Amino acid sequence: MTEKLKTLMDRAADADFAALDLDAVTAAGDRVVRRRRAVMGVASLAAVAVLGSGVAVLASGSGDGADDRTRWTGVPVDGSGMSWGVGEELHTPVGSVDVGHLVRAHVRTRVGFVTVDDAANVWSVIGGEVRPIGQTQATPHLVSDTETGQVAWLEPTPGGVRAVVHDQSLDRRVRSVPVGKDTRVVALDSGALYVERDGKYDVIDVESGDQWQIGSSESGAELLAVENGALVWSGDDRYLVERDATAPVVIDGVAGSVAMLSPDGSRVTFDADELRVYDTMTGKRLEIGVDDRVFASGYEWLDNDRVAVIASRSGTGPVELLACEVSADTCVQVVPDLGGFDELMAGGFSLPVGTSLEDE
């Protein structure tokens, strides 16, 4: 997620969540947080152990009744579409894979998964086959197109850095472009890689290698996400959804600094401390009930109508994973107990966001 959420979780591990000054956390350098967005912390959230065919989650060491909690040893809800990494184990909707290395960060594609280990090696995982496909920077940041087999990252070279696009469906690299050291990959969508270089945004056509520059209608806005022709920009105290030949759609009142668009670009969620989903055509907020959970944040779209959410009913835990259906205004509990916030901040757990909390 972001440093703002990392701060919330750090403080939640030491105090009652209700006592947090959320406004103060949100206001403290929110623009600075956006500039550091490349490290999305939800990729490393919990310390857990693998037992048999299920996942055994360590009980929280904080909070009343922690030792009396039932340890979860279940499997994902059928059809949830969720994945997560635990140590060297990658849990997927079709089964678990021992990848033979620490899953420090990972993303999914239409074909499989791509992981990063603790030595910054990049691996392709398709079914039970695990093979190396490159290296990335010490602070990993992968982006993928979940509707294709493509994934991108920055790779160090003797002379600098290059942006690499690997296609799992073809089992090879399809583009390698020299870039500056201050470059970051932003998004990969419909055969185009979006990168930021010194505050300016370039689009690289993966097939042809052609490049061109883009910008928002609002000067100085930061590009957060791209899907199916929809671009989400972070401006001054507001967010803009822009498409070709249409007026920008304004979204106000969002505290998050990372945006996740649904595959068709019709909806967007942000990494705020409460679940916030918006219609990108109107800017209207779409309400989704999360029962009495005091913390809920979307981190990945499972399809155009379902968003994956990390949540908790208290400030100390247990922390859960939910699959929330927007149109039905309902959430299904996929993982009931990942442990407490204090355990989560210790690292060792990854979600498919391409980055690791440990690097923040």
Does the domain at residues 3-359 carry the CATH identifier 2.60.450? no
Spatial CB neighbours of 246, under 8 Å, sequence gap ≥ 6? none
On the CB side of 44, CA atoms within 13 Å amount to 25
- 299-330 residue pLDDT tens: 999 999 999 999 999 878 888 999 999 999 99
In 10 A of CB 180, how many CB atoms?
A: 10
Residues 189, 105, 322, 307, Cα dihedral to 10°: -10
pLDDT given at position 201: 98
So what's the pLDDT on residue 4? 42
Nearest to 40, CA basis, from 72, 6, 74: 6
Check if the beta carbon of residue 151 is closer than 8 Å to that of residue 132.
Answer: no
Q: Where are the domains of the chain?
A: 3-359
The stretches in the chain having pLDDT less than 50 are 2-5, 8, 15-76
Contact 142, 105 (CB under 8 A): yes
What's residue 358's pLDDT?
67
Nearest to 347, CA basis, from 123, 119, 105: 105
How far apart, in whole angstroms, are the C-alpha atoms of residue 168 and residue 131? Answer: 11
Q: pTM for the whole thing?
A: 0.82
Residue 152: C-alpha distances to residues 123, 312, 333, 353 (Å): 12, 32, 31, 13
